[in-house]
């Protein structure tokens, strides 16, 4: 197996130590940093996304893979030539007002980052006005809202209304997700999309920003 394939494999297996060793080895051997990222680290994480979506991998394994990928990225990132790896888009994520669940939302964030998107993770219990303020400040391409409670998912609707009232909705794509959230609900509140899981959420973002 070629070295970059072995690196991808280490990411898939969530083997942080091997991922770090193989990343350092590739750097020492003069492999182009961008190739290490695309053919090793991201290639591995893409497989993880597909397997997770298919139900062949579970949350703890995905978290370990993301950790392995991140450790490799920390080594390569400073070596990338400026502009060589520009983010494909900027995504802002937050769990809505009144809701403290963030495991799924953070998983969504990891998938976004590993797909080459810039991520702004606002955290949990984000009120509509706080979302609006952050959108004004960071101007993301996509806002993703997560909710795990049937009571708090209604805050997604309130947030979209505030964004509309404040004139921030026009150039912004909005996606929603979380266990109680459905495509029908997303349509009802005027979101641009819904995704059932973290890997699908990343695919949806790329679809919405046309990349």
- Interface with ligand B1M (CB under 6 A): 59, 98-105, 107-108, 144-146, 148-150, 175-180, 195, 197-198, 201
Q: Between residues 4 and 162, which has the closer beta carbon with respect to ligand B1M?
A: 162
Taking the complex as a whole, the smallest distance from the CB of residue 63 to ligand B1M amounts, in Å, to: 9
Rounded distance, CA 159 to CA 12, Å?
Answer: 37
User: Closest distance between ligand B1M and the C-beta of residue 140, in Å?
Assistant: 12
Nearest to ligand B1M of 21, 130 (CB atom): 130
Comparison of 23 and 197: residue with beta carbon closer to ligand B1M? 197
Cβ nearer to ligand B1M, comparing 85 with 134? 134
- For the bound state, the minimum distance from the C-beta of residue 211 to ligand B1M, rounded and expressed in Å, comes to 17
Query: Are 89 and 141 a contacting pair, CB within 8 Å?
Result: yes
Residue 196 CB, nearest approach to ligand B1M (Å)? 6
Torsion from C-alpha of 21, 115, 76, 118, nearest 10 degrees: -140
Measured CA to CA, the distance from residue 106 to residue 62 in angstroms comes to 11
In the complex with ligand B1M, the residue whose CB is nearer, 41 or 119, is 119
Q: How far is the CB of 189 from ligand B1M (least distance, A)?
A: 13
């Amino acid at each position: 197996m070629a070295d970059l394939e072995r690196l991808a494999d280490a990411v898939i297996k969530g083997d942080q130590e091997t991922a770090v060793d193989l990343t350092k080895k590739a750097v020492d051997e003069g492999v182009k940093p961008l190739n290490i990222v695309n053919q090793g680290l991201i290639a591995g994480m893409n497989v993880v996304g597909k397997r997770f979506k298919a139900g062949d991998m579970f949350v703890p394994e995905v978290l370990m893979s993301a950790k392995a990928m991140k450790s490799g990225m920390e080594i390569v990132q400073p070596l990338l030539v400026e502009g060589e790896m520009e983010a494909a888009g900027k995504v802002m994520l937050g769990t809505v007002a009144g809701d403290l669940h963030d495991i799924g939302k953070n998983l969504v964030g990891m998938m976004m980052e590993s797909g080459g998107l810039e991520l702004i993770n606002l955290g949990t219990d984000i009120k509509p006005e706080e979302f609006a303020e952050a959108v004004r400040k960071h101007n993301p391409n996509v806002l993703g809202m997560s909710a795990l409670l049937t009571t708090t998912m209604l805050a997604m609707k309130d947030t979209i209304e505030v964004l509309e009232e404040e004139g921030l909705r026009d150039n912004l794509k909005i996606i929603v997700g979380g266990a109680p959230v459905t495509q029908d609900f997303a349509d009802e509140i005027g979101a641009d999309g819904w995704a059932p899981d973290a890997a699908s959420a990343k695919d949806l973002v790329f679809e919405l920003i046309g990349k």
